[in-house]
Amino acid sequence: MRIALHDITLSKWAFPLPESVRTWIDEEVSRVLGSPDVAPVSMVDGSEPGPHAPAEVVAPTDMSGLAKALKESIVCIDVGDAVQLDEGSLQRHPTVSIHYQAPEAILESQLSLASDICGYPLIEPILANEQDVLRQMEILLAKPPGSFRSRLIDHNAVPYPARNTQNWAELERHLRGVGNRDESRASMYVDADRLPILARLDTRLTEEDVQTWKTLLSKMLACIPDERPDIDMVCAWLEKPGEIIMSD
């Protein structure tokens, strides 16, 4: 069996150090990596840190200075998002986990920065097959995915038990459900003269909010990558909702 790992972020790999580096004293480490950047611990609500809080917060170190000292060997330490490759010649199309694929990744084997919006939190079954994912995308947007319509799998071919589809909902229903299942530990506030980081428990979106967010998210989840707004447009919209026109 062969597997492919689509996520090559540094946190998934271990870089062995030569023995000479392992024996460095503190002064040598500071000379190569620089002095630690530290700051006092502060609580979100302005209260005093608890007895188990660390003495200070240390910023991540810039490890680029250590690059020349690494061995030319790496070990993969996290294969949780790996996917199995078919037998035969090595695949040259994107091997992205099925629960993290945008429509164009599933149907056309193409990925771009615009594909990143279609993450697995939008889809219920993490280990779903392509038919499940495509069907949920269609339900989420309450319409067939545009030019991909002719390439969709026939939804009537395999009937689905109610337990598999009861939580599959269109975007507007998801927005109306905000605040329905809040938990007490999610309540985080700053001091009284500042806005809360999160809304109060059980806060529901107004009808205007539902329609406003639906307008933005529908565009961000458009099935055609070129129809999705770029991050600059999204940020501008979030600063002045309703003033930035999301054209059809």
Q: How far apart are CA 217 and CA 219, in angstroms?
A: 5
What is the mean pLDDT, run by run of 10 residues, along the chain of 248 residues?
A: 70 83 88 86 82 86 76 80 64 56 74 73 60 73 58 47 52 81 52 52 82 86 83 84 62
The position carrying tokens 């271990």 is 14
- At residue 164, the pLDDT reads 47
Provide the 10 A C-beta neighbour count for residue 245: 8
Token code pair at residue 155: 């939804």
Instruction: Supply the DSSP symbol for 205.
Output: -
- CA-CA-CA-CA torsion for 236, 170, 118, 106, nearest 10 degrees? -140
> Tell me, what's the pLDDT at 187?
47
Asked whether the beta carbons of 10 and 74 are under 8 A apart, the reply is no
Kindly state the tokens that stand for 61: 């170190």
Q: What angle do CA 115, 88, 106 make, to 5 degrees?
A: 20
How confident is the model at residue 181, as a pLDDT?
Answer: 67
> For position 163, what pLDDT does the model report?
42
Say what the pLDDT of residue 129 is.
Answer: 66
pLDDT at 242: 65
The pLDDT of residue 191 is: 47
